[in-house]
Chains A and B, each alone.
Chain A
Amino acid sequence: MPRPAHCVPQRWTNKPVSGLIELLPTLLEGLRLTLQITVVAAALGLACAVVAGLAREFAPRPLNWLAATYVEVFRGTSALVQLFWFFFALPLMGINLGAFLTAVLVLGLNTGAYGAEVVRGAIGAVPRGQWEAAASLGYGRAGTLRRVIFPQAALAMVPPTGNLLIELLKNTALVSMITLSDLTFRAQMLRAETLRTVEIFLLVLLLYYLAARLITHGMGRLERHLARGRDHGGSLS
């Protein structure tokens, strides 16, 4: 059934609204890639963070140095420089990873380097008495870490990890500069096509903001979940 014609107001508001809706599919397509890169790089980053963090703290000398070098190099140089080096320089040495793998690898390693410091800090913050208590109960070093130290350190790791994930999400924008059509890349493309700079970039900023809020929200839930477990432990003892 045809709707009554509110022609005038509708036409008046129609243009910008349909304009935004026109832009959205392209941008959402880009957002999907942005999120994919974020998730994969985050997984890699977390793994690197735990391994390097523990290695710096507990591994014997050569391994320990290796971990320290990794952390210093990735924290000491710029993420964009790393990305360019892996994308432009590495292929000349015969290693060609392609844009997506390069992006995920570099952002993952970068996040992992910062994450290693988070892991180290959280483990260092567990009181010495916990190690001694575990040792007195006959736990070895690995057992102490797994059963006693890590569960306590995990809660302290959550807020800085949340910040790291947001930094990672923001850093994914850099992959637009190595030809990947993420959210930022699509925004640039649309801008060139339509010249509607303000709307496009505001929309893109909003999408990134919402993704970041999602991370904050998720980490908040995780933190409450872990803290709840701890309270139970406290009240039982």
Chain B
Amino acid sequence: MNFDWGYALETLPGLLSGLVITLQATVLGMLVALTLGLLLAVLRHAGGRWIGGAARHFIEFVRSTPLLIQLYFLFYVLPGLGVTLSPLVTGVLALGVHYAAYCAEVYRAGINSVPRGQWEAAASLGYPAGARWRRIILPQAIPPVIPALGNYLIAMFKDTPLLSAITVMEVLQVAKIAGAESFRYLEPLTLVGVMFLVLSLTASRLVRRLEARYGRQARPA
């Protein structure tokens, strides 16, 4: 069976609209991941024995279990708790929570790389804990880890096809349906593969540029 360019072209508009959903899920999921991840990282650092320990175990657990199961869990369990969300929102939430655990570890590395002297200088100037994080620690901790966060953005992008398992009409789901209707899977699935390849290679290139920019960080003075 040969690659049918005509058919490929025919499926392209549908796939592109699926790709839009994919990108939406990625961006929204990343916003959740960046925010929740930061919260987890700060709690882990400052939360003391109980809260900090809980954050640490939560991160560990989420990182060691499959996204697909987490996705099913939210999809099937939330309605039972009276929370009805659209599949897309459920998917965004699952992606966000899953990658929040990864982002938390990235932030942690950044936080740990801020020298002790910076904490002490902030304390000696009378900064209260909240302002110490906001004004002194995080502005130093986050820029160096932006490339690493970018890599997780790409990883999350490549995980969005899993949302097809909970009926989200993202690009892979569109391709599968097109294939099932025509019994021609080769063209739509290959196109999906190419889309992912092009987008993630481009994004990797951008991340490398970020690395060049943030790699040589201002050293603590």
Q: Do chains A and B touch in the complex (CB under 8 A)?
A: yes
**Chain A window 220-235, contacts with chain B (Cβ cutoff 8 Å), 1 for yes, 0 for no:** 0000000000000000
Q: Known: A170-B66, A191-B76. Is A73-B197 also a contact (CB below 8 A)?
A: yes
User: CB-CB contacts of B59-95 with A at 8 A, as 1s and 0s?
Assistant: 0010111111110110011001000000000000000
Chain A residue numbers with a CB within 8 Å of B159 are 78
Contact between A88 and B179, CB atoms less than 8 A apart: yes
A57 nearest CB across to chain B (Å): 19
Interface size of A in residues (CB-CB distance below 8 Å): 40
Interface 1/0s, chain A 47-79, versus B by CB < 8 A? 000000000000000000000000011011111
With known contacts A77-B193, A93-B186, A198–B77 Cβ distance under 8 A: yes
Instruction: State whether A93 and B1 are in contact (beta carbons under 8 Å apart), knowing that A77-B200, A81-B172 are contacts in the complex.
Output: yes
Within 135-166 of B, Cβ neighbours of A (below 8 Å) are at 158-162, 164-165
B190 at the interface (CB under 8 A from A): yes
- Which of B65, B66, B189 meets A88, CB within 8 Å? B189
Is there contact, CB below 8 Å, between A80 and B172? yes
Query: CA of A188 to CA of B44 in the docked complex: distance in angstroms?
Result: 34
Compute how far the CA of A93 lies from the CA of B3 in the bound complex, rounded to whole angstroms. 9
Chain A residue at minimal CB-CB distance from B200: A76
Q: A73-B197, A85-B193, A94-B1 are in contact. Are A174 and B68 (CB under 8 A)?
A: yes
**A166–B61 CA distance with the chains assembled, in angstroms:** 12
Interface size (B, Cβ < 8 Å)? Answer: 38
Task: Name the contact of B64 in the complex, choosing from A92, A166, A191 (C-beta under 8 A).
Answer: A166
Q: Interface digits, A156-174 against B, CB 8 Å rule (1 contact, 0 not)?
A: 0000000000100111111
**A152 CB-CB contact with B under 8 Å:** no
The answer to whether A72 touches B201 (Cβ under 8 A) is: yes
**Distance, CA A209 to CA B101, complexed state (A):** 14
- CB-CB under 8 A from A88, the residues of chain B are 176, 179, 185, 189
Residue of B161, B165, B179, B201 with most partner-chain A CB within 10 A: B161
How far is the CB of A91 from the nearest CB of chain B, in Å?
A: 9
CB-contact partner of A170 in B65, B165, B204, under 8 A:
B65
The reply to whether A176 and B200 contact each other, CB–CB distance below 8 Å, is: no
B161 neighbours in A (Cβ, 8 Å): 78, 80-81
B119, CB-defined interface residue at 8 Å: no
Listed in ascending order, the chain A residues whose CB lies under 8 Å from chain B are: 72-73, 75-82, 84-85, 88-89, 92-94, 166, 169-174, 176-177, 184, 187-188, 191, 197-198, 201, 204-205, 208-209, 212-213, 216
